[in-house]
Amino acid sequence: MIQHPDITVLYLDDEKDNLFVFKANFNRKFEVITTLSPNDALHELDLHHDEIIVVISDMRMPDMNGVEFIKRAKAKYKNIFYYILTGYGHNEEIEEAIEDKLIEKYFTKPFDALEIEKAILDATSHLRRN
Amino acid sequence: MDITIKNASLWDQIPDFESLDLSGAAMIICQLDKKLVTDIHQRLTSLGYETFLVQFDVSLKPNSVYLISDDHEFECDGSSIQLNQDTISTNLMELMLINYPQGSISLANDDLNIIYTSGSGYEEHNVDPNSIKGINIATLWEQNIFEGFQKALPSIRNGQLWEFESEFQGKCYLTTVSCIPDRKTFYYLIKSKDITERRKTETALLESEQRYRYFLDQSHEVICTHDLKGNYKLVSPSVKKMLGYHPEEMLGLHPYDFCYPEDKGIIRSTWTELLEGKRPKNIQYRAIRKDGSLIWVDSYSDIVTDSKGNVVSLTTASRDITNLKHIELELRKSEERFRGIADNLPGVIYLCLNDENYSMLYLNDEVKKLTGYKKEDFVKGNISFVDLYHPDDAPRVFEIVDGALERQESFHVTYRLKNIKTDSWVWVEEFGQGIYENGQLITLEGVLLDITKKIDNQLKLEQSEANLKAIFESTQSIIGLYNTENELIEFNSSFKNYILASDGVELKKGMGLADFITSDKIDEYKSYHNRVLKGEKLKITTEYPTPYGTIHLLSGLNPIFNKGEITGVSLFVEDITELKTSQKKLEQYAEDLEKLVKERTVELEEKNEELILGNEQLEAALVELQMAQDKLVQAEKMASLGVLSAGIAHEINNPLNFVKNGALALFNRIEEFQDYDEEEMRPYIELINGGVDRVTRIIKSLSHFSRDARTMNEKCNISSIIDNCLLILQNKLTDRIRVIKDVDSEAIVFGNEGKLHQAMLNLLSNAEQSIDGNGEIKISAKPVGTLVELIIEDNGSGISQENLVKIGDPFFTTKPPGEGTGLGLFITYSIIEEHRGKIEVSSIVKKGTKIRIELPNL
C-alpha cells in the first residue's frame, strides 16, 4: 500500500544506513529509489526520469559532492526538483546552489520526515499545476 | 638392429607421427617429397625423435629416424645407408651451382674424365658444355698445368684447394680445383672464373705502385701515409737516413712515438685542422732519432680522399731541417742578444746612411721616447732627424759631423731635438762615427742620449739654492752651518746681527767659534759641537732675564750628513718665549679639564647604574611578554576547538539520522500493531526524540562558533545567538544559576555571526564564573531606534574599581595562572568595536556586574 504511487523520489547517499532509514520512513508514502553513488543515481535517472519528481542528494560523497551531482543531473533533466540533505549545518556551496536556483532548498541531518514529505508534495503539486 | 622402411610416395596423407613406436629399431622414410623434408624433420624432432636428413652416406643408429627425399636412391646394408653415386654428383653440382653462379664449373671423376659441366662461362665462349663431357682433363689443360696438378694431387685429395691461372681467347681465368671424396672414389670439382678485369686493375695498380715506390725511394723527403688515427701505413725508405729507423719498424706506430713530447700538440692541432677541412700546411717539430738525438723536421701534411670525397688517409712529406734550424736559431740568438742590449740602452742607437736626411737603417725603440715618432717612421723615411733639429743648433751639428767624417774621426755633439709628443725641446748628446769599408764611408752609427734631465737638474739645483737662501734670510731665527773644524761656512743675517750686538764681532765665513764668541761660555759651546760631530742631536734651552721679562731661547744643534757621513754642524736658535708662556697656560687648562672630567665621570657612573636598573626592568618585561605569547598560543588552541567540533558535526549528524529516523520508522510500524498502546509508548518516543534533539542542537550551535566567514553583513539574531551560547554553557549553569532571558526577536544586527557568538559566550561565561554558588543572570535585548541594546547582568562577585579600568586590556586576568588567558574580554571588546558598537561595564564588588552593549542595527 503506497499512499502516492504516482510520486517517485530518488535518494542518493554514500552511507547505506542513511538509505535504509530514508526508505523506512518514505516507502509507504512514495515510490523510493535509493542509490549509493552519483553514477548509479545518473543511471537511475536515465531509466526513470519520467517517473522521478524529486531528487534528494547527500552533500559529502567521495566521487563528487551533492551540488556537483545535481549540476550534472539537472543539465539533463531540468523538470525534476532537486534537494540536498546534509550533515553539515551551513555551507557556502549550498548557499550558492540555492541562489543559482539549482536546488529548491536544503535539509539537515537528522532529517525531519514531515518537512521532507511536505517539500515533496509541494513540488509535485507545483509540477502538476504547470 | 631392426630396420623399418616406409615409402612416403604411398601415403595418402601425412601420417600423425605421435604414436611412432621405434622400440630400438631405426626407421627410414624414403621417397619423401622434397618440399616436405624439412617440415617433417622439424615435426619429428619436436616430437622427440632423433631425426636425420640423409644427404650423404650414414651409419644407422637405433631409435632414430632417417629421412630421404625422392631425388635420392639408396641402398641399405642393415647398418648404414649408401646413396646412389650419380645422385650424389648431380646433387652436389646443384648445391655448388647455387653457391657459384658465375663462371664455369665441371666435375671430373677419379680417372680425370669430365663427367659434368655447368655454368654461364661456357655460353660466353660459345662452347657446348656437353661437348666437354667424357674428355680427360690432361688433354684439356696445357701440359705444364696438368703436370702441376698431378704433383699437387695428394694434397688436393687431403682437402687442399689448388689454383692456376690461364688465358683463353684473350681473357684471364682463375681455375680452382678441389676434391670431393666419395665412398670409394674421388671427384674433382673444377671451377673457372673470369678474372680479366681484376688482373687489369691489378697490373695497373702494380705499375702505379712501382712508380710511386720509385719516387718514394728516390726522394730525400720522407713520404708517409697514415690512417685516420695518424698511425703509419706506409713509410718511405729515406726515413732510415732521417730517423735511423727501418720503415717496417714504424708501421702501425704514430708520429707521436717519434716526436719530441712538447711538440705533439703542433702535430695534433695541424691534423685536427686538416680533418676539419682547413688548408694543408708546413709545420716544424723536433723528432727523436733512434740513437736518441733530436732533429728538426719540416713536415707537410695533406689528406687523401677517395672518389666520393671521403677522407681515407693522411699523407706527410717530411725533411730534416736541423742544420737550417741551427743556423736560424744561432742567428736569432745573436740578433736577440743585440736587440736585448740595444733595447736596454737608455739611449737611441742608430745606423744610417750619410745622405741628406741621414736615412735610417736601424733604430731601437728608445727613439719613440726621445722624439715621439716610432722607429718605423724613420726607417720608412716618413720623418728625418734633420727635420727635428733645433734651427739654432742645426748648422753646428752638420759642421761637426761633416768635419769628423772627413777626418775619419768619431764625433760628439750636443743639441736640441723636437719631441712631437710633448711639443718640447729635448737636449741630446750624440756620440757617433762613420763605418768604412775599404776606405769608403758606408754608414754612420751612433748613440743619442737624452740629457734634458741633467740640464734641468742643474737649473733646479740653482733654484733650490736660491730658495734656501731666501728662507735663510727671511727667518728671525739664527741659522749657522759649521764644518768639522767648527769653522763657519754659512750664516744668516739674524746670526750676523746677534753676534754683532752681543759680542761686537762682524761674522765672516771661515771663522772659528773662538773668533766670534768672546764670553766664557766658549768651552761649553765647543763641547756641544764635539758631541754633535759624534752624531748626537742636541736641544738646549736657555733663559735670559731682561727688563721686558725673561727671554727663552731654544738652540738646536744637529749634525750635517752627506752620504752617511757627518760633514758639519748646523745651528738653529729660536726665540721660544711666547711658546713658553702658552705652554704654561695650557698646563693650567689641562689641570682644569682633568678636574671637570672627574666630575663628569661620577655623573656618568650614576647614569650607568640607572641604565642597568632599567635594563633589568626591560628583561622582566620581556619575560612577561613571553608569558603573554604562550597565552596567545593557548587562545589559538581554543579557537581551533571550534573548527574541530564543526568537523565532527558531520560524523555525528549521520548516526543521529539513523537513530532519529530509524526510531521514527520503528514507531510508525509499531502503531500498526493491534495491541499498540499509545500511552505506554509515548515516554519512549519522547525520550528518544528529546535526546536526539538535544544533541542536534548542541552540534548546530557549535557550528556557529566555527564559522570563519569574514563577511560583516550576515543577519544576526541576538536571541538565537544567546540561545546557542546558553546551550554551550548549560552544564555549567545547571540549576544553581537562574537565567532570565528577555530578548526581543526583533533584536537583529548585521555583522559576523561567528564573532558575535564568541563575544556573547565570553560575556555569559564571565557572568557564570563570577557566581559562586547560586545566582542569577539576566539577559535582555531590544531594538532602540537604530541601535540594539543588550544588557547582561549577574549578581556574582563583581569587579573592584581598581580592576574595572583594566578588564579590557589584553592578558589582564584575576584568575590563577593557567586558568584564564586574560584575552576573553579583550577579544569581546575588539569584536564589539568591529561591529561599531559600544560596551559599558559597571560593577559593585559582591553585588554583581552589569554589562551594557549598544550595536547599530544597520
Q: Does A87 touch chain B (CB under 8 A)?
A: yes
3-state helix, strand, coil in chain A (%, to 5): 45, 25, 30
CB B444 within 8 A of CB B351: yes
Q: Does B206 touch chain A (CB under 8 A)?
A: no
- Half-sphere exposure of residue A83, counting CA atoms within 13 Å on the CB side? 23
* Separation in Å, CA of B727 to nearest CA in chain A: 17
Task: Provide the number of structural domains found in chain A.
Answer: 1
Average confidence (pLDDT) over B84-108:
62
In angstroms, the CA B22 to CA B565 distance is: 134
Residue with cell 731665527: B477
Cα angle B15, B16, B17; round to 5 = 105
| Cell digits of residue B541 | 734651552
Over 80: is that where the pLDDT of B759 sits? yes
| Four-CA torsion B544, B546, B549, B551, nearest 10 degrees | -30
Residue A77 neighbours by CB under 8 Å, 6+ apart: A45, A49, A52
Mean pLDDT lowest among B267-276, B621-630, B810-819, B836-845: B810-819
User: pLDDT value at position B104?
Assistant: 78
CB B632 within 8 A of CB B822: no
pLDDT above 90 covers a percentage of chain A that reads: 77
Q: Taking CB atoms and an 8 Å cutoff, what residues of chain A touch B707?
A: 90
Residue B122 neighbours by CB under 8 Å, 6+ apart: B104, B128, B129, B132
Q: Taking CB atoms and an 8 Å cutoff, what residues of chain B touch A109?
A: 653-654, 656-657
ipTM: 0.86
Dihedral angle sign, alpha carbons of residues B696, B698, B704, B706: negative
pLDDT tens digits, one per residue of B493-522: 888 888 887 778 888 888 888 888 777 778
Task: At B827, give phi and psi (nearest 5°).
Answer: -65, -45
Q: Does B663 touch chain A (CB under 8 A)?
A: no
Chain B residue with the nearest C-alpha to that of A27 = B665
Phi/psi region, residue B178 (left: phi>0; alpha: psi -120 to 50; beta: rest), is: beta
Chain A residue with the nearest C-alpha to that of B692 = A110
| Four-CA torsion B464, B468, B474, B476, nearest 10 degrees | 160
- Domain spanning B475-575: CATH 3.30.450.20: yes
pLDDT tens digits, one per residue of A64-121: 999 999 999 999 998 999 999 998 766 788 889 999 999 999 998 899 999 999 999 9
User: pLDDT value at position A60?
Assistant: 86
| Cell digits of residue B63 | 631409435
Residue with cell 680522399: B305
685-704 in chain B: CB under 8 A from chain A: 692, 696, 699-700, 703
Residue with cell 681515407: B312
Q: Does B659 touch chain A (CB under 8 A)?
A: yes
pLDDT level of residue B821 (50, 70, 90 thresholds): low
Quote the strand ranges of B140-254, DSSP E.
Answer: 162-168, 171-181, 186-194, 222-226, 232-235
Cα angle B665, B667, B669; round to 5 = 70
The mean of the pLDDT values for chain A is: 91
Helix, strand, or coil here: B720? helix
Over 80: is that where the pLDDT of B474 sits? yes
The top-level CATH class assigned to B85-199 is: alpha beta
User: pLDDT value at position B596?
Assistant: 85
Chain B residue with the nearest C-alpha to that of A88 = B650
Mean pLDDT lowest among B176-190, B296-310, B652-666: B176-190
CB B354 within 8 A of CB B405: yes
Q: Is B786 exposed, middle or buried (0-12, 13-18, 19+ CB in 10 A)?
A: exposed
CB-CB: which of B654, B692, B696 is closest to A15?
B654
Contact A110 B661 (CB under 8 A): yes
Contact B658 A21 (CB under 8 A): yes
**Which residues make up the CATH 3.30.450.20 domain(s) of chain B?**
85-199, 219-327, 345-456, 475-575
The H or E element spanning position B3 is strand B3-7
In angstroms, the CA A89 to CA B703 distance is: 7
Contact B696 A110 (CB under 8 A): yes
DSSP structural state of residue B362: E
* Separation in Å, CA of B671 to nearest CA in chain A: 13
Q: Taking CB atoms and an 8 Å cutoff, what residues of chain A touch B709?
A: 92
Q: Does B312 touch chain A (CB under 8 A)?
A: no
423-462 in chain B: CB under 8 A from chain A: none
pLDDT above 90 covers a percentage of chain B that reads: 8
CB B180 within 8 A of CB B157: no
Contact A110 B650 (CB under 8 A): no
Contact A25 B664 (CB under 8 A): yes
Over 60: is that where the pLDDT of A30 sits? yes
Q: Does B654 touch chain A (CB under 8 A)?
A: yes
Q: Does B664 touch chain A (CB under 8 A)?
A: yes
* Separation in Å, CA of B812 to nearest CA in chain A: 35
Q: Is B280 exposed, middle or buried (0-12, 13-18, 19+ CB in 10 A)?
A: middle
pLDDT tens digits, one per residue of B11-69: 888 887 777 777 888 888 888 887 788 888 888 888 888 888 887 778 888 888 888 88
User: pLDDT value at position B645?
Assistant: 62
> Of B797, B851, B794, nearest to B825 (Cα)?
B851
CB B756 within 8 A of CB B705: no
Task: List, as own/partner pairs, every contact residues B827-831 make where C-beta atoms lie below 8 angstroms and the sequence separation is at least 24, other chains included.
Answer: B827/B635, B827/B758, B827/B759, B827/B762, B828/B758, B828/B759, B828/B762, B828/B763, B831/B752, B831/B755, B831/B756, B831/B758, B831/B759
Task: At B386, give phi and psi (nearest 5°).
Answer: -55, -35
What interhelical angle do B753-770 and B718-733 show, nearest 10? 40
DSSP structural state of residue A1: -
Residue with cell 736615412: B359
Residue B254 neighbours by CB under 8 Å, 6+ apart: B229, B230, B231, B232
In angstroms, the CA B634 to CA B611 distance is: 35
**Which residues make up the CATH 3.30.565.10 domain(s) of chain B?**
707-856
Query: In residues, how long is chain B?
Result: 858
CATH of region B219-327, choose from 3.30.450.20, 3.40.140.10, 3.40.30.10, 2.30.290.10: 3.30.450.20
The mean of the pLDDT values for chain B is: 83
- Domain spanning B345-456: CATH 3.30.1330.10: no
Residue with cell 554553557: B729
User: pLDDT value at position B42?
Assistant: 85
Residue B427 neighbours by CB under 8 Å, 6+ apart: B414, B415, B416, B450, B451, B452, B454, B455
Residue with cell 693522411: B314
Q: Taking CB atoms and an 8 Å cutoff, what residues of chain B touch A92?
A: 709
Cis peptide before B129 (omega within 30 of 0): no
* Separation in Å, CA of A115 to nearest CA in chain B: 13
Under CATH, what is the fold of the domain B707-856?
Heat Shock Protein 90 (3.30.565)
pLDDT tens digits, one per residue of B432-456: 888 888 778 888 888 888 888 888 8
Task: At B327, give phi and psi (nearest 5°).
Answer: -60, -45
Q: Taking CB atoms and an 8 Å cutoff, what residues of chain A touch B668?
A: 25, 28
Query: Which CATH number fits the domain that encloses residue A117?
Result: 3.40.50.2300
* Separation in Å, CA of B648 to nearest CA in chain A: 9
700-739 in chain B: CB under 8 A from chain A: 700, 703, 707, 709
In angstroms, the CA B135 to CA B113 distance is: 5
Residue B414 neighbours by CB under 8 Å, 6+ apart: B427, B428, B429, B430, B451
Contact A110 B659 (CB under 8 A): yes
| Cell digits of residue B454 | 741633467
CB B479 within 8 A of CB B493: no
CB B509 within 8 A of CB B488: yes
The H or E element spanning position B104 is strand B104-108
In angstroms, the CA B263 to CA B268 distance is: 9
In angstroms, the CA B795 to CA A38 distance is: 57
CB-CB: which of B651, B662, B707 is closest to A90?
B707
Contact A21 B661 (CB under 8 A): yes
Which residue type sits at B665? A
Q: Taking CB atoms and an 8 Å cutoff, what residues of chain B touch A60?
A: 650
Average confidence (pLDDT) over B269-290:
86
CB B756 within 8 A of CB B790: no
Over 80: is that where the pLDDT of B181 sits? no
CB-CB: which of B653, B668, B709 is closest to A110?
B653
Chain A interface, best mutation among B645, B656, B657, B702, by max A CB count within 10 A: B657
CB-CB: which of A18, A89, A113 is closest to B654?
A18
Mean pLDDT lowest among B500-514, B602-616, B735-749, B772-786: B500-514
Contact A88 B703 (CB under 8 A): yes
* Separation in Å, CA of A60 to nearest CA in chain B: 9
3-32 in chain A: CB under 8 A from chain B: 15, 17-18, 20-22, 24-25, 28
Mean pLDDT lowest among B306-320, B419-433, B634-648: B634-648
In angstroms, the CA B40 to CA B21 distance is: 16
Tell me which residue range forms the domain holding A66: 4-129
User: pLDDT value at position A100?
Assistant: 92
Helix, strand, or coil here: B437? strand
